[in-house]
Structures are given as C-alpha cells and as structure tokens.
Amino acid sequence: MSQRGTLWVLFGCLVLLQFGYPVTAYGPWWTVGYLLLYSGVIFYGAREIAIHPRAGWPIVPGVILLVGAAVWFALNQGEKMATVILLGAVGIFQLMLLVILIRRLLQPSHHAHTIDMLLIAVSAYLLLGGVFGVIASQLEFAAAGSYIDATSAEPVTWQSLFYGSYVTISTLGYGDIVPKSDWARSLGSLEAVLGTLFVAVVIARLVGLGGSRWRKDEPAVETESA
C-alpha cells in the first residue's frame, strides 16, 4: 500500500475510533469490534517504523502495551482496573503517534503533497483530542467527581469525557460536561489553548510549505515561458 493509502487508513480508523465510541455501550462484542479498529492505526505505525526506523521505534512499546491491555480488557470488561489500564495504554499509544505526526508536519518529506499534509494535520488533531480525553478519564477515575454531567445525575463515564474533550478542544463549550475540580478546570483550559494554537500553527505551516514550493517552482515556470 502507498504512503498516502496508509494515511487514509489512519484517518479513517481515527474518525471511527474517536467518534464511534458510543457502540461500546451496546455490549461486550461491540466493544471488542471497536478495539479492533486500532489494528488500522497500528498498521500505520508499523509502516512508519519500516520507513523511518530511528524516528518510529518508540511506538513499538506503545503497540505492545496497547495490545496487551486490549486483550485483558476484552476478557475482564466488568472490572474498573481493566478500563483504567486500557485507557492508559490508549493514551500512551496515541501520544507517541501524535509526536510522530507532528514531526512529519514540521519536517515533511520532499514527496509529500498537500493532501498528505492535510491528512497528517487532521489525524494529529484527532489524536490530540483523544489524548486529553484519556487524561480527563484517568483524572475522573483517580478523583471521582472531578467532572459532572449537567444533564444527568449519573457518574461521568469515559465516553462522556471523550465527548467533552472534543467539545473543549473545538471551544464549542456546550456546558453539559463541566470540570468541577481545580485540576479538571486547569486541564480544560490547557486543552482549549493547545487546540487553538494547534490549528493556527498548522495553518501557518501549510501556507509556508505551499509558498516555499511555489517559489521553488517559479523559476522553472519562467524559464519555460522564456
């Protein structure tokens, strides 16, 4: 598969993973199917390791940790500790992959096209929201009541906190998932700031790359015209 093909696989799997989590409420088999979507993300990571061994090797322990945690969770879905460990493994894996994608944005290959850079940028943005969703979930597990759901009296679930993460990073601010503790509020503020900065920096980077390539191609066009 081509490099762009693997980027499309990564992007598609991330969209399904980051926004398809409600299926985990339908039963254990739906949850297992949801976790299997990570195979597409792992496939992208394996290709990165094959192409850039030095830059991609840190993802190996993340993959091992994720697979081990997913298997344990699939066998013990009713245990809170299994959920905590799985979310922790997901967060570590997504963070490592996020670092790799940001490096690709800052140091793109000479063969990368605009569509490749857009896929990398959007995938990195999705991963950033996922990482903050994991951190918020771990905070709620460690200190119950750090977040409240204004629409329900039930305890806040990790699914709700993933939703709250993307609402925060996009600065929508619906006000249903509310940070209550000081650390939760601090985390929400950090995510909103980083999300805004990420979009601004990525746009500036893409414009800069497009401008530099246009300047490189301009002399050749002028020569041909002459």
Share of the chain above pLDDT 70, in %: 91
pLDDT band at residue 133, thresholds of 50, 70 and 90? very high
3-225 CATH choice from 1.10.287.70, 2.60.40.420, 3.40.50.1110, 1.10.8.100: 1.10.287.70
Q: How far is CA 90 from CA 69, 105, 134, 222, in A?
A: 9, 22, 8, 51
Residue 206: pLDDT band with limits 50, 70, 90: confident
More confident residue, 210 or 157: 157
Question: How many other β-carbons are positioned within 10 Å of the β-carbon of residue 62?
Answer: 20
Between 169 and 61, whose confidence is greater? 169
CA atoms of 94 and 9, how far apart (whole Å): 15
Contacts 24+ apart (CB under 8 A), 141-149: 141/80, 141/83, 141/84, 141/87, 143/181, 143/183, 145/180, 145/181, 146/179, 146/180, 146/181, 146/183, 146/184, 147/177, 147/178, 147/179, 147/180, 147/184, 148/177, 148/178, 148/180, 149/176, 149/177, 149/178
Which residue, 19, 113, 24, is CA-closest to 11?
19
Give pTM, 2 decimals. Answer: 0.88
Instruction: Find the mean pLDDT for residues 67-83.
Output: 89
What are the residue boundaries of the structural domains of the chain, listed by start? Answer: 3-225
Dihedral sign for Cα atoms in the order 16, 17, 19, 22: positive
What is the per-residue pLDDT for 82?
Answer: 92
